[in-house]
Amino acid sequence: MDLSSVSFTEKKYNNRLLLTQITALLKSGSLFQIRHFIHELYPAETAHLIESLQPEDRKKIWAVIPPDVMGEILVQLHVEVAKGLIEITGQKDLIKAVESLESDDLVDLLHVIPEPLYSKVIASIGVQERSRLEAALSYDDDTAGGLMSLDVLTVQATQSLDEVLQDLRRRTFIPKATDNLFVVDQLDIFQGVLPLSVLLTRDPLVMVAESMDSSIEGIPCQMSAEEVALLFEHRDMLSAPVVAENGRLLGRITVDDIVDVIRDQADRSFRSMAGLSEEQDMFSPVMISAKRRAVWLGINLVTAFMASWVIGLFEATLEQIVALAVLMPIVASMGGIAGSQTLTLVIRGLALRQISGINAVQLFKKELSVGIVNGVLWSFVVASIGGIWFHSIGIGLILGGAVIINLICAAFAGASIPLILQRMDIDPALAGGVLLTTVTDVVGFMAFLGLATLFLM
């Protein structure tokens, strides 16, 4: 592959190209070339590449990464991949990696580090910083408290803008994504924000109290990460203050962490639908991967045997009319597809918090109507084909009847299963599909073979 023909911009920005290049280098390049290649990347880009590679290649890359960059890469990796690399990292390097991190990243990483290393890392941190960290560690990962960083710039309402500007000028560093300074009183109670844009455009002699926006409220530290994400999305925020119940400013959430929350949430839903909720690592070892998926296959096997049992109830009928065995998968399959359309729509609505009480009933009615319309339409088509194929009006009518019944049941099940699961605090994306299939298989076979036994025997 000739890399020189690719323009610089394209080379740096195209993720698939980066992957092709690094795999080529891993195959035939020198350690020096690999190191040079990785050195050009941002930590998150390196993390993204590492996740794309199989374990042996990950180790090769990890070996050329300087310890002070390791930390930033580790926090960007999925937990499973990060754990694999932590295992092969020397203790000294890990402590160096941890030391280079900002507080929110450090908290994330500490969740992954195993004992006894964890205690050693904690011990290597100063006392004051340690107590702050331990407070941060007490928040659940999936809450505003778990998302927040402790690096916050605060000002007092009694300062003038000029004083604030001078204070800033004395600092050499302003935390990333700082669009607002937070105004607090002497007890650290959050009072409002002072946007940098106001600071830059208003008369410096004006007081903070007169320039600040006190309509902004702090985010309660217990709010779920998903609600926080919707809030950032809806209000186009870059950063937001997190407060304790008494109003004390605890920290700050920045939009880059929200981007990760949205990506992770979407990724989890997508994987959950196939029973892969735990499989974060594309290249997890074969046996681990097989074991996880076996659980899902086992659960589905129970469903499949239930369907078989239903069919078994009608062995006598099947012995008489073998055409039924040929056509019965059609009924189950149509129900499964129609049901999963409704299921997907409802799960999506729940994830976006767009379903609640009253409109759930309306949605339910709408989905049932769609089920009836498509049931009537397709039962007609299926009945015609089935009837002609087996030269039997009876078989056609029964096939059509079973399809209507199953499509209506499918709409019913597809709409109600996620709502019930949500009530029971079970992830609908994870368990919804298998329950739906159980319903559509059992109802499908039961309706078709039952109708046949009643009318054709």
Residue with tokens 């950063």: 239
Cβ proximity to a second copy: between 94 and 228 the closer is 228
Residue 366 CB burial class (10 angstroms; 0-12, 13-18, ≥19): middle
Residue with tokens 């610089």: 8
User: Binding segment for a second copy among 114-122, 130-138, 182-190, 374-382 (CB under 8 A)?
Assistant: 374-382
* Beta carbon of residue 133, minimum distance to a second copy (angstroms, whole number): 22
Task: Scan residues 113-142 and list those touching a second copy (CB under 8 A).
Answer: none
Residues in the chain: 457
* Beta carbon of residue 342, minimum distance to a second copy (angstroms, whole number): 9
Q: Is 27 in contact with 54 (CB distance < 8 Å)?
A: no
**In 30-77, beta strands by DSSP E:** none
User: Binding segment for a second copy among 90-98, 129-137, 205-213, 325-333 (CB under 8 A)?
Assistant: 325-333
Is 391 a binding residue for a second copy by CB under 8 A? The answer is no
Cβ proximity to a second copy: between 130 and 291 the closer is 291
Work out which of 119, 210, 256, 457 binds a second copy, going by CB under 8 A. Answer: 256
Which residues 6+ apart lie within 8 Å of 413 measured at CB? 339, 343, 435, 436, 439, 440
* Beta carbon of residue 427, minimum distance to a second copy (angstroms, whole number): 14
* Beta carbon of residue 126, minimum distance to a second copy (angstroms, whole number): 25
User: Binding segment for a second copy among 16-24, 60-68, 111-119, 205-213 (CB under 8 A)?
Assistant: 16-24
Cβ proximity to a second copy: between 269 and 453 the closer is 269
Is 297 a binding residue for a second copy by CB under 8 A? The answer is yes
Cβ proximity to a second copy: between 326 and 454 the closer is 326
* Beta carbon of residue 127, minimum distance to a second copy (angstroms, whole number): 29
Work out which of 282, 388, 420, 457 binds a second copy, going by CB under 8 A. Answer: 282
* Beta carbon of residue 35, minimum distance to a second copy (angstroms, whole number): 19
Task: Scan residues 349-368 and list those touching a second copy (CB under 8 A).
Answer: 349, 352-359, 362-363, 366
Task: Scan residues 197-226 and list those touching a second copy (CB under 8 A).
Answer: 197, 199-201, 217, 219-220, 223
Is 53 a binding residue for a second copy by CB under 8 A? The answer is yes
Cβ proximity to a second copy: between 37 and 232 the closer is 232
Task: Scan residues 71-100 and list those touching a second copy (CB under 8 A).
Answer: none
Interatomic CA distance for residues 127 and 110, integer angstroms: 16
The bridge status of strand 190-195 relative to strand 180-184 is antiparallel
DSSP-assigned letter for residue 114: P
**For the window 262-281, what string marks contact with a second copy as x by the rule CB under 8 A?**
xx--xx-xxx-xxxx--x--
Interatomic CA distance for residues 1 and 145, integer angstroms: 48
Is 393 a binding residue for a second copy by CB under 8 A? The answer is no
Instruction: List Cβ<8 Å contacts ≥24 apart for 325-329.
Output: 326/390, 327/386, 327/390, 327/395, 327/399, 327/448, 328/444, 328/445, 328/448, 328/449
- For helices 393-423 and 357-389, angle between their N-to-C axes, nearest 10 degrees: 160
Interatomic CA distance for residues 221 and 135, integer angstroms: 12
Work out which of 33, 119, 214, 308 binds a second copy, going by CB under 8 A. Answer: 308
Task: Scan residues 411-440 and list those touching a second copy (CB under 8 A).
Answer: 437
Interatomic CA distance for residues 291 and 287, integer angstroms: 6
* Beta carbon of residue 175, minimum distance to a second copy (angstroms, whole number): 9
What is each CA distance from 309 to 10, 108, 167, in whole angstroms? 58, 48, 76
Cβ proximity to a second copy: between 134 and 267 the closer is 267
Work out which of 293, 380, 416, 427 binds a second copy, going by CB under 8 A. Answer: 293
Tell me which H or E stretch contains 249: strand 249-254
Angle, alpha carbons 81-70-64 (nearest 5°):
95
Strand partners, 243: 220, 249
Cβ proximity to a second copy: between 3 and 297 the closer is 297
If we measure between CA atoms, which residue out of 197, 196, 192 comes closest to residue 209? 192
Is 174 a binding residue for a second copy by CB under 8 A? The answer is yes
Q: Judged by CB under 8 A, how many residues of this single chain contact a second copy?
A: 133
Task: Scan residues 226-245 and list those touching a second copy (CB under 8 A).
Answer: 227, 230-236, 238
* Beta carbon of residue 251, minimum distance to a second copy (angstroms, whole number): 17
Cis peptide before 329 (omega within 30 of 0): no
**For the window 176-195, what string marks contact with a second copy as x by the rule CB under 8 A?**
xxxx----------------
Radius of gyration of the chain from Cα atoms? 29
